[in-house]
Amino acid sequence: MNILQDEKIIKVKDSYGIGLGNFDGIHLAHEKLIRTLVEECKKEKIKSMIYTFDEHPTVVLNKDSIKLISTMEKKIEILEELNVDTLCLRNFDSQFSSMEAEEFIKKILVDKYNVKIILIGFNYHFGYKGSGDAALLEKLGREYGFRVITIQAMKYGDEIISSSNIRAKIKEGDMEGTKNLLGKYYSIKGRVEYGNRIGTLIGFPTANIIPLKDYALPKSGVYYTNTIVDGKTYESITNLGFNPTIDQGEKVIIETHIFDFSGWLYGKEIEVIFKQHIRNEVKFADITKLKEQILIDIDYVKKIYGGS
């Protein structure tokens, strides 16, 4: 997949079908839009493009107002799997945020990228103060010669599949509900750091990662997880939170005990996949009580997946 930085492009040679949106998480509704884009572009024999931003506009305009679901690395990975030809990134700066809706379509999508098809979600707005919508796109399409395809709302049961609803599920620790909307279990990547080694001392060594700032976190507690190390998936149990028994302070830490694993993890990037919330985080009277509860938690998790 080709990756472009919009500010550096003057004009391309190819014609494009372009999907517009923030695509945070690339959930099931996003996937439907992207698959439709790729299919329509193949029919028209043009290139497919996802046009989005380096940073979520809401984060830029209102610091810390939302927690993101996916990193750019994860977006790129999924877009490549979906066979998108080009990802075009734009810095959402003050100049871009003040651009009128029609100016964005004409000066960028039409003049720079020779757009022939535009795909949007049912509630997509664009341009200064979100003044542009599907009706304006239809009007401009007739004027500039491109088709508009609007992907209608998708639901799981009675619930609309949206990034905001997924964030709410993650925050609640509802990992199965998250999967139903996202299309996959929620995961967090990180590089393994040195901890206080209490886990090792009590017989349950953990791989510790510090989650990135501004990204969605499940509520504090113990989870049944899978952990990917060097491309291999292991069953695991994870504590996410502040580890009040050891008094870790205010920094959230993800501590994962990986079953049936032996090897060096420090400095490696691992991916922790959150599958089920087991219990809330508790401050125990002492390390002995903590160890007793860990044994109970591990036994419970092994019963879930049939381990011994």
pLDDT tens per residue across span 42-57: 999 999 999 999 877 7
CATH class entry, domain 186-305? mainly beta
Task: Report the run of H or E that residue 202 belongs to, with start and end.
Answer: none
How crowded is residue 242: how many other Cβ atoms within 10 Å of its Cβ? 17
Q: What's the pLDDT at 246?
A: 62
Diameter of the chain measured on Cα atoms = 73
This prediction's pTM: 0.91
Domain 14-156 = CATH 3.40.50.620: yes
User: Domain map of the chain by residue range?
Assistant: 14-156, 186-305
Q: Which two tokens stand for residue 31?
A: 């996937």
Q: Please state which of the ranges 18-32, 41-55, 225-239, 241-255 shows the lowest mean pLDDT.
A: 241-255
**What would the mean pLDDT of 121-127 be, rounded to a whole number?**
93
The candidate with the shortest Cα–Cα distance to 24, out of 269, 37, 65, is 65
The pLDDT of residue 58 is: 72
Structure tokens at 210: 């510090």
Phi and psi at residue 107, to the nearest 5°: -75, -30
Residue 240's alpha-carbon distances to 43, 167, 223, 244, 254, in angstroms, are 47, 17, 8, 11, 5
Q: What is the mean pLDDT of residues 127-136?
A: 92
Beta bridge partners of 155: 160
> DSSP code of 75?
H
Q: How far apart are the two ends of the chain, measured CA to CA in Å? A: 43
For residue 52, count CB atoms less than 10 angstroms from its CB and return exposed for 0-12, middle for 13-18, buried for 19 or more. buried
Q: How many percent of the chain have pLDDT more than 90? A: 74
Tell me how far apart the alpha carbons of residues 64 and 25 are, in angstroms, rounded to a whole number.
17
- Helix segments in the chain, DSSP class H: 28-44, 57-61, 72-81, 94-97, 101-103, 134-144, 163-172, 175-182, 198-201, 287-305
Res 194: pLDDT: 82
Which amino acid is it at 269?
E
Mean pLDDT of 244-255: 74
Please give the radius of gyration of the chain, using alpha carbons only, rounded to the nearest integer. 22
Asked which of 120-124, 235-239, 287-291 is least confident by mean pLDDT, the reply is: 287-291
